[in-house]
Amino acid sequence: MYEAFVASIDGVVWEGDVESRQLTFVSPEAERVLGYPLALWLTSGFWAQHLHRDDRDWAVESRARAASARGCTELEYRMIDAQDRVVWVRDLVSVVDDTPVPRLCGVMIDVTERKQSEDERRTHLRFLQAMDRVNRAIQGATDRDRVLQDVLDVVLDIFACDRAWLVSPCDPDAVAWRPLMERTRSGTAFGVLHRVDFLMDDGVARLMRAALRADGPIGSGPSAAHPVADVLVTGLGVKSALTMALRLHVGQPLLFELHQCLQPRAWTAQEERLFHEIGRRLADAVTGLTAFRDLQEGAERLRLAVKSSNVGLWDWDVASGTVLFSPEYKRQLGYADDEIRNDVEEWRQRVHPDEIDAILKGLGAYFESDQTVLESEFRMRHKDGSWRWIFREARCGGRPMAPRCACSAATWISPIASEPIKSARGTCGSSRAWIG
């Protein structure tokens, strides 16, 4: 009856001596849980010898305390099975003292699946928290260098490594490479100068080729498939590295890398997955920031070109009556940027009264035609009261439903008040400026 009851328990029922803590009985479930024969369980020191090395000392001590306590003591620790796998055990330990010789007894339950699920949830939570920190760093600034610095600082903290850097370009055929941004942990002995060129060597070239071929990060070091490049070992004291190529949508790829300098490091699968996701997010951010920077630089070059060419630009939404006048347009009529509103009446009221009707009639005919370019000359009043001859060239888009002279426009302001610009066009030049 007792044997049938023990066999029905989903766990290892055991008994042992209180003084020596030697096992004197284990149920058949023991062989299924750890894979060792029942007879081996009853040999001297078996239980302690098969505890996980990180749990051995405290688990032995805890069971010893349970032997002198009353009631039930609950422990959770790891054991190593016959296949050298880790098995999590929940051990319910108590003392039976209703016999002449007190006995230590308990039930060990396999809780490996629960522990693995808990570990997976904790790992996933740490992954989400890490990505949230990276996203906050990316969203915290619009300057590319500041974003790279902030992200690398976060990466240093997340991975607890000695260096995080970005190298440009990730091109094994390039003549040289340079650290685009580097962040090191306090106490790291070696550092490099940002934006200083280093000649390409075989070791770095091999690393870049491997990174470009790989779908994710690659590890290098004593326990990895790839050796650390010699220049990193001798020049920077790198013992292990985790490397990934960042493929940008704008410009050449970059090399994203973590360095461990104080001692070699074996990167875990969870660390590689997190590094991969951070790299992908960083590549998207660098692409956007680079495109935004190039757009700003292009806009500034266009502004300087327009200003130096003495051309005033305007953009007229015919349906709403809103007109955007460039600062140069206003300046040539003698006005500051804030002195002319974005309204078509600002233009209409400054056109010479003898010419406004013909101009509006010409505009109407232009909107109804399939004509691409409209050119005309007329006079406009300057802020000082004088009349200035205007040569206007416009290109219209959005026809026929909502005509909009917004695709392009160029205006030349002539200081000559007595003759049309046709006779002076040679001195004004034949250049054109279009927007939209």
- In-domain check, residue 301: no
Among 61, 85, 110, the domain-final residue is 110
Quote the pLDDT of residue 418: 41
Say if pTM beats, i.e. exceeds, 0.85: no
128 and 245 belong to one structural domain: yes
Quote the pLDDT of residue 8: 56
- In-domain check, residue 152: yes
- In-domain check, residue 404: yes
Question: What's the CA gap between 258 and 163, in Å, rounded?
Answer: 6
- The CATH number that applies at residue 369 is 3.30.450.20
- In-domain check, residue 221: yes
136 and 279 belong to one structural domain: yes
122 and 164 belong to one structural domain: yes
Domain interval for residue 325: 309-428
- In-domain check, residue 250: yes
Residues of the chain whose pLDDT is less than 70? 1-8, 70, 99, 188-195, 299, 302-303, 305-310, 321, 397-436
- Nearest Cα to 414, choosing from 400, 430, 425, 399? 425
- The CATH number that applies at residue 197 is 3.30.450.40
CB within 8 Å of 354: residues ≥ 6 apart: none
- Asked if 258 contacts 211 with a C-beta cutoff of 8 angstroms, the reply is no
170 and 280 belong to one structural domain: yes
- In-domain check, residue 434: no
Quote the pLDDT of residue 10: 75
Among 44, 76, 110, the domain-final residue is 110
126 and 61 belong to one structural domain: no
284 and 330 belong to one structural domain: no
Question: What's the CA gap between 88 and 241, in Å, rounded?
Answer: 32
157 and 286 belong to one structural domain: yes
Distance of CA 288 to the CA centre of its chain: 11
- In-domain check, residue 41: yes
Quote the pLDDT of residue 375: 83
